[in-house]
Amino acid sequence: MDILLHGPVLGKMLLHLESSPTALVEFGLLPIAKVLVLSGFGLAMANPYINILPAPSRRLLSKVIMISCKQLS
């Protein structure tokens, strides 16, 4: 792999990932962990037992999410 084609910043990152297997695992799992944490926060806020968001706010949030999903597809 020619690292010069990717630029200096990406080249340094690729060299670091090639030298350390733990860095490769961290690089692969960190985005998944971020999504899971944010999903957990959303689940906690939308949970009626915790009641951070009242029912009208949850309905409005659902509408916003449905509209944004329709625009993405």
What confidence tens digit (pLDDT) does each residue in 7-52 have? 565 656 666 666 677 777 777 788 888 889 988 888 887 777 887 8
Residue with tokens 């998944």: 32
What confidence tens digit (pLDDT) does each residue in 36-48 have? 998 888 888 777 7
* Contact by Cβ (8 Å): 38, 31: no
